[in-house]
Every structure is written in structure tokens, then in C-alpha cells.
Chains A and B, each alone.
Chain A
Amino acid sequence: MNAMLSRVADSLYWMSRYLERADHIARQFDVHMTIVTEQAVDAARRRRRRLLTTLVGEEEYAEAENSDYHLSVLLTFDENNPNSIVNCIAAARENARQVREQINSQMWEQINQMYLAVRNQRMDELWSGQLHSFYHTINQEVYRFQGITDARITRDQGWHFVQIGRYLERASETADALNVDFRELYSNALEQDAVDQQTYLDWVGLLRGFAAYEAYSKVYTANVQPRHIVDFLLLNPYFPYSVHFGINRIQSSLQFIGEETETPKSARVYRLGGRLRAMLDYAQVDEIMDSGLGSYLLNIQNQCTQIHQLVYETYIAYSIEDKLKSMQ
């Protein structure tokens, strides 16, 4: 039996999740700025609205909807927005701090430096020509953190909780963005799969928001088609930001943790992961599109939530009384 403190697993999981989220927001906004400048006022506003829906919430944010400056403040520095980059990195760091003796010192220093850099960034400087380099640097620094993690950390349970945090976050982000973009852009298309010049930018933006444009082009050439995008971002088993890839990783990490802890309930957790994996293994994009992409994605997100809950019930927030009973 190999054990790690439940609280440590909890912190590693959230450290990883929050960092992934910060990375996601930074990339989304960086990509947004390259696209929005070429868009008409209306399309630009709708684009901001969609970003707000996936990154902040459904509420009204009039200022941010009308101005990229306010959007960047809200997404990056707003301390009242729990999902601003600064709050995500602070939360990741706070979790890392709770497990400083578990992660290696380089990991801690990397996350600590990121935090200090973002916190000390001034907004006026940002908008005087450093916008792209700022968001780009966040992505680079998160990659660097993940690089240090992957290069140096022992592949024990801790690493697998980091993986689960990262890929659950990624899978739900991808599913969420697909859902919101398709709801608006796809139903608006007069003829299915025909991409006009206006929406072309948004479709490319969807791919680039997951660093997927180049990888997509290798499979489908530069022929950007909504159906192919779904096939790629949802079902491609080899692309690291696709939902399918993420679920595969989650499933193998659940299996590792299950074998390692020999907890009776472990089987339930990885069966849940296995079911979702199998669903994606055998899915066909045409069937999904015909029967409704929205409900398919919602189903995936629900299953991700269930996995999260069951991981917590099994390994982290279980009742001590029950454990004592089962030990007797």
C-alpha cells in the first residue's frame, strides 16, 4: 500500500488545475486580440461575449463586452473575478505553498516567480506595446513549470493527481469553448459546413485558442470546416488539447492511483473514466453532429464533474468513521 496525504493530493490537483486555467485564459485572450482587430464592431462584441461566457460567466459585463481594454482587466487583474489570471496563479501558488515539501524546489521557485511577475505587472505598461509578450510569457512560463514537473517529478501518485487536475481542466475548457462557439456560429451558418469570411476568423480563433491550428492543418490542410474542428478538438486521440486525449490521460492516471492505493472503491472511479473513454473511442463525428453537439458536450462535462466528485469521495474527503469501520 502506498499512501500520500489526502490534503496533499487535494493541493496538487488544484495547483495543476488553476495553472492550466491561467494558461488557458492567457492564450484565449492573446488569440482574441489577433482576431478582434480584423472584425466588424458587431462580430467583435459577440466574440467578447462568447469569451466572457466561457472564461467568466453568464452575467452582464457591459464594459468588458465593448472594450478589449476592460476585457483584459477583467480577465487578467480583476481581484473580484475568481477566474482572473492573477487570482488563478495566486491560487495555484497557494496550493503549491501547502505542499512545498512535496514538490521540488525548482517547481516552487518557478510558480513563485510567475506570481511575483504577474502581480507586479502594471496595466498602463501592458497597453503600451507589451500586450502580446505579456500573455505569451504566461503561456511560456506555465509550459516551463509543466516541463520542470515532467522532467523531474517521480511518477508516483502525486504526479498522477497533477495529471488529473490538468486534463480535467483542459477537457472541460475544450468542451465548453466548442459548445459556446458552435451554439452561436454554427446555427447561424446558412448552409452547413460553408464558412464565410466573417466566421472564418472565429473558426480559426477557436483552433488557435487551443494551440491547434498548425496541428489541425497537418491533418485537414488549411481547409477550415466546423465538422473537422469537432472531429479534431473533441475526438482526436493524439492531440494534447483534445477532449479525447485528456480523457485517456485521466483514465490511465485513475488506474495507476487505484492500483497504488488498493482502495476498495477505486474500481468505481476508474470504471467511470473508462466509460467516458470508451464513449469517445467509438464516437463518430457525423452521428454527434446529427444528434446534437450541445447535448453530447454537456454529457461529457457532466461525466467530468462526476469523476471529480468520485475522486474526492474516494481519496480525499472520505469519512474517517467509515474507514475505521472497514478496517475492523
Chain B
Amino acid sequence: MAEARQVTATQDRRFQTYQLDEAYDEMFAPDGRPRPQYLTLFNRLLELSPSELEARQQSADLSFLHQGVTFTVYSDARGTERIFPYDLLPRIIAAAEWETIERGLIQRITALNLFLHDIYHQGQILADKVVPREMVYSSKHYRREMRGLDVPHGVYVAITGTDLIRLTDGRFAVLEDNLRVPSGASYMLANRQVMKRIFPGLFSQYGVRPLEFYGQALQNTLAALSPVSSEETTIVLLSPGVYNSAYFEHTFLARQMGIPLVEGRDLAVHDNIVYMRTTAGLRRVNVIYRRIDDDFTDPLVFRRDSMLGVAGLFNAYRSGNITLANAIGTGVADDKAIYAYVPAIIRYYLGEDAILPNIETYQCGEPNERRYVLDNLASLVVKAVGESGGYGMLVGPHSTAEERATFRTLIEANPRNYIAQPTIHLSRAPCFLEGQVEARHVDLRPYILYGKRVTILPGGLTRVALRRGSLVVNSSQGGGSKDTWVLTR
């Protein structure tokens, strides 16, 4: 059996170290043969010599360096900019698979927007006890300042980047909803630009759905949420500035949309009207695509030490003179504890079952689920709901008996504060690494725009854990990205 799972389609030495096991492989079916959508790429890989592939990789890297498609490494004293590692081989998604993802994402974002509107108004879903009231009110990202405030068209989350993973059975599932300030769209677009240059033939052979319209779609989305008519609306992108690690993305998107990139110091609020400082004097602003967190938007209302925001912005927002995208307070809906309730939220508002499943999540607050978690600590991942970035976490399979005992005590003392999930296998996709084609874990972040209607970019950012065996796709920890192709048929 084990032998049958090897890549038998070729004796090619490039695939010698390609790892196939219980994780879903994007390129090869369990019998070791390429999946239909990967066949053309597979054959092309057999034709190209490793040195040709190497040359293309270098040409791609150089192109990123020259374009300055970089992120800033804070820990480095020289403030060095690094290129975001880029893998040469595209990740390919069949048309039918994408169709499911698309429907699932539309359903999910529609429900989450209704949920946000509800909890900042009547709170019907809380009264009906579908989501526990205290889960919402105790969330770090709940903003009571938003209560009773109406946002244009009820759209709280105009821009979403949802993290999907593929389960061992091939289904896509939601790992995380990023409803605050999702990033990465510029890398998706830059990857595509480079890919078209590096593999022009392959690209046109395949029939790949285009992404170019993202700038226009984003601009239209923001304009649709403006308090004034779209002809006279002034939209700006608010960036923390050149030292922010995502600054490249901010400039890239501003240019794609043809809107000014502003910093807090370029804006001023007077009589609840927001102005920007221009060579021709002060000019009124109607929509702000803000790339700073809630906490930093207005020092008068949120963090007082914020130098990035604009004093008086929130009052201008309350008076309806300015639209912020995303709205303030959306983070409550991508809270780890709320995540488990999203299928119930979808059912509550839309009367449908979730098309994209969640990762199974056990609420330690529920006695039955808690019992299961405590009995299976060695195989589960336990997370504290209030924490992020890997803190307050127990990874069962890698834990010691002592650590498990500590968590048992913690969970029993404060069960509501903990959730648990099974250890998940991210799917793997082929990557070109040091002359070999190797399998690496990937996820997928599609981008969803919600203005007058919902628009979903066909594709998204595929992040790759470039280190062998690693499940971490973050760029700060050896992660990279690759172009994602959604096929037209």
C-alpha cells in the first residue's frame, strides 16, 4: 500500500523526496497519479530541467526585489526589507471546487454582517440564546461605542480575507475569519503579475480566471458605502506610514484604486467633518479605507497614545459624515470563541446549513464537550479564547504529561475560557525547492468585497509553509506564497 502511494507516474529524480501521506495532496490523487487540473503542469515540469526552473525562480525573486514587493523585518536594526518568499509553482483549483467555495463565502459573510448589525442593535440572537450574551460582551474586540450606530447599507465588513484549509477528505473548511484589517491582497496581485511573465505559455494554456479587476472592484465597493454620491466622493487609504510592515501593500492598493494614501497627520477633523491637507488647502474626505486597527483610529475615543489616528474621527463617524471600511468593532465576530458559533449564526439568520464547514471546535464551557476534551487532551489542540499568536495554547500530540495536567487544572477552573480543536492536517501542494519538487503545507486566503453586492476574487493568497514538516504559513516564520489559479472550466 505504502508503495502504491509513491509518485509512480515518473522515475524523475525531481520528485524523489515528494512526500505523500494522509494529508490531502493538491497535485496527486491517492493512487499517485496527477489530478486532472494538475496534469498539464505536471507534464511541463517533466520537460523543464532543474536549471531552467532555477533560472525562472531567480528571475521571479529579482522581479520582486526590484519592484520592492517586500515586508519590513522589525527585528533587524537596519530595517531591512525582505522579499516575501515566492514559490514558482501555481496552486490550481478546479472550477467546480471554486464554485462551492464562492457560495460558502458569500453565505458566511452575509450572515456575519447580519450578526454584527444585530449585536450592535437589538441583540435578537442573544435574546434567543443562540450565542451566549457574555461571549459577545466579554470579547476584547466588542466596541460598545458602536451600539445603535447605523453603518451604510448595514455593511460592517466590506473587506474580508477568510483563511481556508483543505481537510484530508478534500473539503475546504474555514480556519479563521479575518474581519478587521485583512492583508495580503497585494501579494496575490503581484504574484500573478510575476507568474504571467515567468510562465506565459502555461498560463494561457490553462484558462485562468483573471484578478486584474481587484483595484476597480475595491474602489467600487468603497464608493458604494460613501455617504455622498459616488461622483463627488473622495476616498482615501489610511496607512500607519512607511515603517509599517504592510506599507508596500498600502501603496500598491492606493495606486490600483487611484486614491490618495494618507497618514493620520494628513487628516484633520473640524465640526465632525474630516479634511485632508492638500496643496490647495483643506479638502473634504468621505470614505476612509483604514489599514489601522480600531484601537488606533481616534486617540479621543480609543487608545490615547495613538499617533496614527485622527482626533475627532469617531465623532465624525457617528455623525455619518464619513464611512470607515471596515467598520469599527468587527473584530468581535472573528473572535475565537464566536467562531464556533458561526454555523449556528448562519442557520439563525439565513435558515441554511453552512456550506463551508468549521474546524470542529469543542467549547469547554459545555459539560459534555469539556468531558471529551479532558479525555482526549493528548490528541487535541487547546486554545484560550482571549489570546492570540500562539499564546495560551496546548498542542496535544507535542505536549508532556505535565503540560496536560496544567491545562486540565486551567480548564476546570475556567472552562468558558477554553476551546479545543482536533489536530489538523493542512493539505500539501508541490513547491520548487533547491532543485526538487517537494510537497509543502498550504492554506488559502480568498478576498471578499462587500459593497452594493458581494464580489469574490477568483483565487486568493495561497500561503506555504516552506520549511519541511512545518504547519506555519506566516511570513515571519518561514512562510511564503504562491500564485493561485482558479480555472475557467
**Interface residue B66 (Cβ < 8 Å from any Cβ of A):** yes
A62 CB contacts on chain B under 8 angstroms: none
**What does the 1/0 interface line of B260-273 toward A look like (CB < 8 Å)?**
11110110101000
Is B283 in contact with A97, judged by CB distance below 8 angstroms?
A: no
CB within 8 Å: A-B pair count: 88
Given contacts A5-B260, A7-B266, A320-B268, contact A97 B279 (CB under 8 A): no
Within the complex, the shortest CB–CB distance from A140 to chain B, in Å, comes to 17
CA separation between A262 and B254, bound complex, in Å?
26
* B282 located at the interface, meaning its Cβ lies under 8 Å from any Cβ of chain A in the complex: yes
State the interface size on chain B (CB cutoff 8 A): 29
Choose among A4, A102, A116, A326 the residue that contacts B278 (Cβ–Cβ < 8 A).
A4
Q: Does A315 contact B (CB under 8 A)?
A: yes
A251 to B268, CA, bound (A): 31
Q: Does B281 belong to the interface (CB within 8 Å)?
A: yes
* Measured CA separation A262–B262 after assembly (Å): 22
B255 partner residues in chain A, CB cutoff 8 A:
100-102, 105
Q: Which chain A residues border B268 with CB–CB below 8 Å?
A: 320
Identify B282's interface contact among A116, A262, A323, CB under 8 A.
Answer: A323
Which of B242, B252, B278, B281 is within 8 Å of A94, CB to CB? B242
| Residues A5 and B66 in contact, CB atoms below 8 Å apart | no
Question: What is the 8 Å Cβ interface bit string for chain B, positions 238-265, against chain A (1 contact, 0 not)?
Answer: 0000100001101110110000111101
Inter-chain contact B282/A320, CB cutoff 8 Å: yes
A8 at the interface (CB under 8 A from B): yes
Determine the chain A residues whose CB is within 8 A of the CB of B266 once the complex forms.
5-7
Choose one: A7, A8, A315; the contact of B265 (CB below 8 Å). Answer: A7
B170 CB–A CB distance under 8 Å: no
- Least CB distance from B272 to A in Å reads 13
Q: A108-B68, A324-B270 are in contact. Are A3 and B278 (CB under 8 A)?
A: yes
Query: Closest approach, in angstroms, between the C-beta of B32 and any C-beta of chain A?
Result: 43
Are B276 and A5 touching (Cβ within 8 A)?
yes
| Chain A residue with Cβ nearest B257 | A101
Neighbouring A residues of B254 by C-beta, 8 Å: 101
27 interchain pairs, CB-CB under 8 A: A1-B281, A2-B280, A3-B279, A3-B281, A4-B260, A4-B278, A5-B260, A5-B266, A7-B262, A7-B277, A94-B242, A97-B68, A97-B251, A100-B248, A101-B252, A101-B261, A105-B67, A108-B67, A108-B68, A109-B68, A112-B67, A116-B65, A260-B280, A263-B280, A263-B281, A315-B279, A323-B282
Q: A97-B242, A101-B254 are in contact. List 11 more A-B contacts (CB 8 A).
A: A1-B283, A3-B281, A5-B262, A6-B277, A6-B278, A97-B247, A101-B252, A105-B255, A108-B68, A109-B66, A326-B281
Residues of B within 8 A of A (CB): 65-68, 242, 247-248, 250-252, 254-255, 260-263, 265-266, 268, 270, 275-283
